[in-house]
A and B are shown apart, each in its own frame.
Chain A
Amino acid sequence: MKQKAKVKIGALQLITIFASLIFGKAIGFTNGGLARTVGRDAWASMTVALLTGMLLLPAIVWLARRGGGPLIAYIKRLLGRWLGGLVLLLFAVYFGFAFATSANTMTLHISDYLMTETPFAVFVVGYTLLVTYGVYLGLEVAARLSVLGLIMTGLLTISMMAGSFDKFNYTQMLPMFDHGVLPVLAASSIAHTDVAMVAAAALALLPHSVGPPGRWNRLCWWGLGTGGILVLVWSIFETAVLGPDVVAQYLIACMQMARAAELSIYLHRYEMIMVVLFAYGVVTQSVVTLYCAVTLTEGALPWRVPRGWLILGWAALTVPLQFLLGNDRDRYGIFLETVWPAASIALAYGLPLFLCLVALLRPAAAAQGSTKSG
């Protein structure tokens, strides 16, 4: 039988994947949600989430290094076949929801701003098929795509800054901590939905890295840092150009930001160009999250299911989920600001920390196959 080649990802590609994972949804929905909660301190909340994520990542890296191989085998070794399968399934469900939120980032952009008369379901199905193709081609292709995605995202950010720099009014960001420090810290949970995606994906993807495990911490920090800086630029510009009150009124605040950017009279509808540049990063995010959901489900199930069926199964499951979440914008806003932060913090941070605890309590099982750093 033909042997399937092991998936290997270069260090630079891992960085671009992590950066792409945080960017799409963060500038799409998170800034609006933060502005509704803490007004002009949205960017501060975002910074808090990024810094917390940076501090938590070493724990994830430690766990991945202890595993010394694929996540699936490691979790099953730590927790046993059934409990391990359950945890993997929980991870898969998390990534399934993460995919749905990522997909809605793209579909709502198009539905609300570009093709308002086309039924939302058309975008949901079309986009899911598109991502399914990417997942079918595999993680290596997604990794290559993420490089293009980051380049496009960089171009998008630079062009947005160029188009709106003369309207930048830093006084709109003052006074700092207008709502108090604690509310800013509490509101960072909304931004944690994006940072947590990087943390969970790091656990799943780091074992595929071709780089030495000793460099994994740096890879994660570089990825989160690069994506985080791009997100912060948007957060700061949205507050300083549009003002916190305007940002708070929109579910997709970044489109308003793009509308405010003036690049020339020939690109007066810049948001259309923006969507094209924005798409590659978001699609990478969607492909990676769906890929993780499929792979973890494959490992969680006690019987062998062909991967093609799993991809189609997940795609079929998430189509109604995306539709239910995104079709009612108000409900979706509430979901993103209340349910999703709690769920993603519990699953994407909570589960790895729980695994860390088990690894400490069961050192023999944890150390088996552990990878030396260096």
Chain B
Amino acid sequence: MKRWQWLKDLLDPAAGSAGQLFTLGDRGDKPAVETTGPTLLADAQVRAEGLLTHIDNLLEAKDQGAKALEKAGDLSANLDENLERLKKIFRMPANKDLIIRELQIATQPPTRAVVCFMEGLTDKIVINEHILQPLMLLAHLDHHVDGEGEAGRTQFSIDTLIQRLLPGHQTTEKYDMAAIAESLLAGDTVLFFENVSTAVSVETKAPPGRSVGEPKVEQVVQGAQDAFVEAWRVNVALVRRRLKDPRVVTEILTVGRVSKNYVGMMYIDGIANPKLIEEARRRIEAIDVDVVNGAGVLEQYIEDSPSSMLPGLLTTERPDRTAAYLSEGNVALLADNAPTALILPVTFWGLLQTAEDYALRWPFGAFIRYIRFAALLITVLVPALYIAVVNYHHEMIPTELMLFVASSRENVPLPALLELILMDLTFELIRESGTRIPSLIGPTVGLVASLVLGQAAVEAKLISPLMVLIVAVTGLASFAIPHYVTSYGIRAWRFLVLAGAAVMGFYGLAAVLFLMVVYVSGLRSFGVPFLTPLAPMRTRSADATGRGPLYRMEMRPSYARPLDKQRQQEIVRTWDPLAPEPEERAGSGTKKGGKS
């Protein structure tokens, strides 16, 4: 019997729990009412208490004018009541993150108060030196005496407190518990007082975060070497450092019912199109989900075609690039906890550009863009062309070349398509593992995998040397696509085109390619056709597929429909002896556009 039980325990992983198996609704059970009931009831009670207090405060304030009515929130004058509600809202005592520190303000007589803040999100030195110390030690000094108080007594008032006792740089009055909770979660410190239905919030934010570092994905040789971090306020500052214009606006939006993530929406008033700003705001405000963590998630909630293979917004970790786009009339979204900015709208050509294109002299900047475009074509087409030629159109290439291809494949037992798919998948595997492996051993593993595997496969006559070359060139070309998410899409396309070529040679290849072009032609990014300014063709742009001299880019790109179209005078190199005189400039030729 024991042996039988032993065998049963061995075979059934749940048998050991002997009927006391814990399940969490894996049979579709709904949570019992007795479990959820008290929680719902407690929440309703807190809300009801708040509502009743709010009504009382409104009734009290109704004869005292509009200002008093504005200040009538749901806070009670009873400190204990307020504390009790706050504790219920923050699920205390189970929750240990909220710190509540009771104290006596050194007025005469002392005033009872409570300081609340979230552990880990605040700067404790600021709390100690700029909140607790003045309140507990300095409040009794004569110069803090309110003029209206009795002689020898210090009268407590919120105004005095804010103006003379709390040296914090951002101090605001709060009248609602919801606003207080939000402030606490943002890292502020909130003070409650006895017999006062107003709380005071002092800015003490110090969330954990790293310092500004170098870009990881968008590295450049020439140009700035700073990159965004997870703290959105730092990111806004990095952009503002580059755009010292009072017209630069940062609107703060909040997304996520639970995450309540801040999203800073930046634009330049007077340049960015108000319709674009309004649409961005509308889409962000429409997000109604629990958690929006990071730019990648936010992007999927607001882009025009979330199932598209190409991104509808540009993600960048570079403040200089963000500033450049803002100056051209685009809108940037800086989400908290995301070390990237989202730029909208974006065009296909924008996804193939880098910040360095502008730091280089224009012929090189233009050349490197053409190289990137060629890299895109190589990534998508080369494997498919090889399969189409080898399987269907032998006559397409010169006989000598065909004989060379045939001789290199002579001893390979696999069909060319299978050979290519195997190599391509291996390459993708190396790339993926190279990304996930810790950075210390990553390059070594990548090197070993690519060299040893390739060499071994060729020597084992499993793969032809030509195939290794094709996959290597394709892989190398895919690395030249600067935008990370775009390169995913392009790599996926490669397999689709390959499938077309494998089934119907050139016809299949051309058909899939055509479908892709039609598809991309139909894409829009915040209402802007993806292939503009090529299709639909807009005013001639010196900065789309190629790049013209910076001093000739007088106009902002037209695709974002900026309000102010001109960004610089027609002749900016006025010092140049060859530059026309002012009167000649007035009548000189056409103006060229910018980034597209």
Interface residues of A (CB under 8 A from B): 10, 12-13, 16, 110, 114-115, 118, 122-123, 126-127, 130, 133-134, 137-138, 140-141, 143-145, 147-148, 265-266, 268-269, 272, 275-276, 279-280, 283
Contacts and interface: CB of A to CB of B under 8 A. Distances in A.
Interface stretch (B278-286, B310-318, B510-518): B510-518
| Residue among B396, B507, B517, B537 with max Cβ neighbours from chain A (10 Å) | B507
A6 to B, nearest CB: 14
A265 B400 CA distance: 11
Given A114-B393, A114-B505, A266-B398, A130 B537 contact: no
Contacts, number: 83
Contacts of A126: 504, 507, 511
Interface string B394-427: 0111100100000000000000000000000000
B515 A133 contact: yes
25 contacts: A13-B535, A13-B537, A114-B393, A115-B504, A122-B504, A123-B507, A130-B511, A130-B515, A134-B518, A137-B519, A137-B522, A141-B518, A143-B535, A145-B517, A145-B535, A147-B534, A147-B537, A148-B517, A148-B521, A265-B398, A272-B393, A275-B510, A276-B506, A280-B514, A280-B517
Contact of B506 (A10, A114, A147): A114
Contacts of A122: 504
B536 interface: yes
Nearest to B531: A144
Given A114-B393, A118-B504, A143-B535, 15 more contacts: A10-B536, A115-B392, A115-B504, A115-B506, A123-B507, A126-B507, A126-B511, A141-B522, A147-B534, A266-B398, A269-B393, A269-B395, A276-B506, A276-B513, A280-B517
B518 A133 contact: yes
Contacts of A143: 535-536
A127 B506 CA distance: 13
A12 B536 contact: yes
Contacts of B510: 275-276, 279
Nearest to B393: A272
B590 to A, nearest CB: 16
B529 interface: yes
Interface in B229-268: none
A38 B451 CA distance: 65
| Residue among B392, B401, B504, B514 with max Cβ neighbours from chain A (10 Å) | B514
Contact of B535 (A134, A138, A144, A279): A144
Nearest to B395: A269
B505 A148 contact: no
Interface string B201-217: 00000000000000000
A110 to B, nearest CB: 5
- The list of the 5 closest CB pairs from A to B, nearest first, reads A144-B535, A147-B535, A144-B521, A141-B522, A137-B522
Interface in B471-530: 504-507, 510-511, 513-515, 517-519, 521-522, 529
| Residue among B397, B529, B535 with max Cβ neighbours from chain A (10 Å) | B535
Nearest to A264: B398
Contact of A148 (B397, B398, B522, B535): B535
Contact of B507 (A115, A134, A269, A283): A115
Nearest to A13: B536
Contact of B521 (A114, A145, A269): A145
Nearest to B388: A272
B282 to A, nearest CB: 15
A268 B401 CA distance: 12
Contact of A147 (B505, B514, B522, B536): B536
Nearest to B511: A130
B518 A272 contact: no
A109 B472 CA distance: 34
Contacts of B536: 10, 12-13, 143-144, 147
Contact of A114 (B507, B513, B518, B531): B507
A175 to B, nearest CB: 39
A356 B397 CA distance: 55
A13 B534 CA distance: 11
Given A12-B536, A144-B536, A115 B505 contact: yes
Contacts of B506: 114-115, 272, 275-276
Nearest to A123: B507
A155 B316 CA distance: 35
A117 B521 CA distance: 33
Nearest to A276: B510
A12 B517 contact: no
Nearest to B398: A265
Nearest to B521: A144
Contacts of B531: 144, 148
A107 B223 CA distance: 51
A266 B395 CA distance: 11
Nearest to A16: B537
Interface in B521-563: 521-522, 529, 531, 534-537
Given A114-B505, A115-B507, A144-B535, A269 B518 contact: no
A26 to B, nearest CB: 21
A13 B504 CA distance: 32
A141 B393 contact: no
Contact of B398 (A138, A141, A268): A268
A143 B532 CA distance: 12
Contacts of A140: 529
A137 B518 contact: yes
A9 B397 CA distance: 41
A145 B393 CA distance: 28
A147 B538 CA distance: 11
A44 B32 CA distance: 88
Nearest to B532: A144
B527 to A, nearest CB: 10
A122 B511 CA distance: 13
Contacts of B513: 276
Contacts of A279: 510, 514
B475 to A, nearest CB: 24
Nearest to A109: B507
A110 B510 CA distance: 11
A122 B503 CA distance: 12
Contacts of A283: 514
A252 to B, nearest CB: 15
B79 to A, nearest CB: 53
Given A137-B518, A265-B398, A269-B396, A110 B507 contact: yes
Contacts of B518: 133-134, 137, 141, 145
B304 to A, nearest CB: 13
B334 to A, nearest CB: 31
Interface string B357-398: 000000000000000000000000000000000001101111
A12 B401 CA distance: 43
A144 B531 CA distance: 8
Nearest to B397: A266
Contacts of A275: 506, 510
Contact of A10 (B396, B514, B537): B537
Nearest to A10: B536
A303 to B, nearest CB: 29
A133 B537 CA distance: 22
Contacts of A123: 507
A280 B514 CA distance: 7
Contacts of B392: 115
A16 B531 CA distance: 16
B396 A272 contact: yes
Contact of A144 (B395, B504, B505, B529): B529
Contacts of B396: 269, 272
Contacts of A137: 518-519, 521-522
Contacts of B504: 115, 118, 122, 126
A130 B514 contact: yes
A353 to B, nearest CB: 32
| Residue among B395, B515, B522 with max Cβ neighbours from chain A (10 Å) | B522
A359 to B, nearest CB: 32
